[in-house]
Chain A
């Protein structure tokens, strides 16, 4: 156990050093006044802003998280349904896969204002935007996963008299879990960013709205504080996904150990 935590520290040491070095440089540049203070706040200024604004940030964060969570759940749900249908019925795949790809080629910043025009400043357009940017990775990941299922294993279950539902439950779904979690890791980050972007373009609350306000006030320290908060949220959610992945796939750990 101790050995393991030691090796984790050793693995992360280069990254930690690089970040520390970067912060140190940044702080030095500000303290030497190489860049005017109102344009680039120092890391310490950012932390100060974060502390003074913590209540407002927290309140807005909850709004953003709610949107992100609602959009993400629906996006995953729709992506899952799309993957199952496309895997089961070839005609669905042929008909809808190209459309799905096209939806991904349209930039979010272009669709978001339209959604605002159609659905107003409330949460609906925000959730739709998040669905649009999250269902695709989930659908594609799961579809690949379903198709990667061992054909012989499917044959084995068929020889045992299994129907399609059982084959899905015992072979296809578990085979797709690794791809599903990879997709989920991307989509949690997308969902937060999607929520922020849609708030930018119109809304009454949330980190995106807060961001536009502090930008207009030229409060760069607060701007940086909210940027870091958004990154932190994304990182935290990705860590949650990793945790869920480990819980759902305990066999992966043993496989790795055996390979060593």
Chain B
């Protein structure tokens, strides 16, 4: 009796800690069910990834969380508030870097601030102040075409962060990069995250990337897509370069491959 009460109160505390909660979300397009009964939650400061095959409904789920698409059923809560179908609450970095070619890097990064109605000058100043932390110093006045792939992703991530330092959705942010660039961007990403502690929900189809970067991994599989497993990566952060060669890493990888 007493025990159940303690458990119940613990659940309430846990619920309060949840930054983002997705409850029993389903969506069909043209009569075809894409995702079915998906429930996912993110705690404050966590990096969680959603791992699954391409075309498995990952992006659909993100479009629902960001409010671009409304789900057939289910709810999305941000800090306990129902934000289902509301856009403009969660920052969203899409697959493409989507830097506008006709705006300088600083003006691209400052876009979310401008959308919130800030003055051009203050928006630029605020954006510029973060360039160093994101390893982008000196690129402010360049155009996106002058940046390398890795730098473009950095700029896109900074833009995402400037929109909201609350929760960010990243849709395969590094999938377009070559392996070597990817490795250096991963290192950079973990460094930046150490500093800014952004709660992040991350789509990827790269198992190594998911294990390396995440605190937790949700596996999405099947048609329609369902959450088939949840794996906690208990390796402490900051993670060393050797982590992805360690036996723990391979153990996680084996588990994920089996589950998929």
Q: Do they bind each other?
A: yes
Of A4-12, A118-126, A248-256, the one touching chain B: A248-256
- When the two chains form their complex, are residues A156 and B87 in contact, meaning their CB atoms are under 8 A apart? no
User: What 0/1 pattern do residues 145 to 167 of A give for CB contact below 8 A with B?
Assistant: 00000101101111111100010
Number of A-B contacts (CB under 8 A): 65
Q: How far is the CA of A174 from the CA of B112 in the complex (A)?
A: 17
Q: Within 8 Å CB of B174, what residues of A?
A: none
Residues of A within 8 Å of B, CB-based: how many?
22
| With known contacts A166-B115, A258-B145, A153–B87 Cβ distance under 8 A | no
User: What 0/1 pattern do residues 102 to 132 of A give for CB contact below 8 A with B?
Assistant: 0000000000000000000000000000000
Residue of A nearest to B89 (CB): A161
User: What 0/1 pattern do residues 78 to 104 of B give for CB contact below 8 A with A?
Assistant: 000000000111111010101011111
- When the two chains form their complex, are residues A251 and B143 in contact, meaning their CB atoms are under 8 A apart? yes
- When the two chains form their complex, are residues B102 and A177 in contact, meaning their CB atoms are under 8 A apart? yes
Q: Which of A64-109 contact B (CB under 8 A)?
A: none
Q: How far is the CA of A254 from the CA of B101 in the complex (A)?
A: 10
Q: Within 8 Å CB of B127, what residues of A?
A: none
Q: How far is the CA of A255 from the CA of B100 in the complex (A)?
A: 12
Residues of B within 8 Å of A, CB-based: how many?
27
- When the two chains form their complex, are residues A158 and B100 in contact, meaning their CB atoms are under 8 A apart? no
Q: Which of B141-160 contact A (CB under 8 A)?
A: 142-143, 145-146
Instruction: Judge if B68 is at the interface, Cβ distance under 8 Å.
Output: yes
Partner of B102, one of A155, A161, A249, A258: A249
| With known contacts A251-B145, A254-B146, A157–B101 Cβ distance under 8 A | no
Q: Within 8 Å CB of B112, what residues of A?
A: 160
Which 7 residue pairs across A and B have the least CB separation, nearest first?
A161-B88, A160-B115, A159-B92, A251-B143, A255-B145, A174-B102, A258-B145
In the assembled complex, 27 residue pairs joining A and B whose CB atoms fall closer than 8 Å, in A order, are: A152-B94, A152-B98, A153-B100, A157-B111, A158-B68, A158-B87, A159-B66, A159-B67, A159-B87, A159-B88, A160-B88, A160-B91, A160-B111, A161-B88, A161-B115, A161-B116, A162-B115, A166-B114, A166-B115, A174-B102, A174-B103, A175-B102, A249-B102, A251-B103, A254-B143, A255-B101, A255-B145
